[in-house]
């Protein structure tokens, strides 16, 4: 935990004194650590001067921010309108089944994968799509999705 705190402090110090910095501060932490560790909010108050309550309020308002650690591979599966009409539900089922995720569970027990449903990643004409890390996979089917996940199951981030 000590190590995390000093990491967070290093990340947020440059924002001291900036106006409108709440979102960039949170983004800086999450980009580097993958999530917002609980101690972040007190540290933001101490180091940047943004009240912890405000930072927490902002963090819980926006879809981007998460408070729990993510797996090695973050799967963003698109459920935008085009993907929805072209069967994203089947893709979501394929991923959840294949990774044996429970109803409320988003990260596999071995911390290898995290699934996140997103509203639209803007690749609508190639629907249905998902992203794993920075890579986008298009024109998915049930079978193709499973094959892609298998490719990733042995892979490091």
Partner 1 sequence: MADKTLIKVGYASCGIAAGAKDVRTLLEEKLAGTDTGAELRQTGCIGICFDEPIVEIHDDKGRWVYRKVNERKAERIFDEHIVGGKPVEGFLFHELSDGTRDPKYIMFKQQERIALANSGVIDPEDIDDYLAVDGYQALEKALKTMTPDEVLQEVMDSGLRGRGGAGFPAGLKWSFAKKSEGDKKYLVCNADEGDPGAFMDRNLLEGDPHNVLEGMALAAYVIGSDEGYVYARAEYPLAIKRLRIAIDQARERGYLGKNILGSDFSFDIKVKEGAGAFVCGEETALFASIEGERGMPRIRPPFPAESGLWGKPTNNNNVETYANVPWIIRRGAEAYKGFGTEKSTGTKVFSLAGKIERGGLVEVPMGIPLREIIFDIGGGIPRKREFKAVQLGGPSGGCVPASLLDTSVDYDSIVATGAIMGSGGMVVMDQNTCMVEVARYFLSFTQKESCGKCTFCRLGTLRMLEILDRITAGDGREEDIGELETLAEQIMGASLCGLGQTAPNPVLTTLKYFRHEYEAHIKDKQCPAGVCKPLITFHVEADACTGCTACKKACPTDCITGSKGVAHEIVLDDCIKCGSCREVCPTGAVYTR
Contact call for residue 72 and partner 1 (CB under 8 A): no
Residues of this chain, 12-71, that bind partner 1 according to CB under 8 A: 19-24, 26-27, 50, 57-58, 61-65
Contact call for residue 157 and partner 1 (CB under 8 A): no
Contact pattern from residue 74 through residue 93 relative to partner 1, giving x for each residue in contact according to CB under 8 A and a dash for the rest: -----xxxxxxxxx-xx--x
Which residues lie below 8 Å from residue 58, measured CB to CB, with a gap of 6+? 22, 23, 26
Please state, in angstroms and rounded to a whole number, the distance separating the CA atoms of residues 157 and 70. Answer: 11
**CA neighbours within 13 Å on the CB side: how many for 85?**
7
Rounded to 5°, the CA angle 59-64-70 comes to: 100
Closer residue to partner 1 in complex, CB, 10/147: 147
Tell me the closest approach of the beta carbon of residue 57 to partner 1, in angstroms: 6
Tell me the closest approach of the beta carbon of residue 133 to partner 1, in angstroms: 11
Q: Tell me the C-alpha to C-alpha distance, in Å, between residue 135 and each of 35, 42, 56, 73, 120.
A: 20, 35, 30, 11, 15
Residues in touch with partner 1 (CB under 8 A): 19-24, 26-27, 50, 57-58, 61-65, 79-87, 89-90, 93-94, 118-127, 129, 134, 136-138, 141-143, 146
């Amino acid at each position: 935990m000590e190590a995390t705190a000093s990491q967070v402090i290093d990340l947020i110090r440059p924002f001291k004194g900036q106006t409108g910095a709440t979102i960039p501060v949170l983004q800086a932490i999450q980009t580097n650590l993958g999530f917002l560790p609980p101690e972040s909010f007190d540290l933001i108050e101490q180091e940047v001067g943004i009240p912890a309550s405000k930072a927490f309020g902002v963090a819980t308002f926006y879809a981007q921010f998460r408070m729990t650690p993510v797996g090695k591979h973050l799967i963003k599966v698109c459920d935008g309108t085009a993907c929805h009409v072209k069967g994203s539900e089947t893709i979501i089922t394929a991923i959840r089944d294949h990774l044996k995720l429970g109803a409320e569970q988003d990260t596999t027990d071995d911390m290898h994968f995290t699934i996140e449903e997103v509203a639209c990643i803007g690749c609508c004409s190639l629907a249905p799509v998902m992203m794993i890390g920075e890579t986008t996979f298009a024109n998915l089917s049930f079978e193709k999705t499973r094959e892609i996940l298998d490719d990733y199951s042995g892979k490091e981030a």
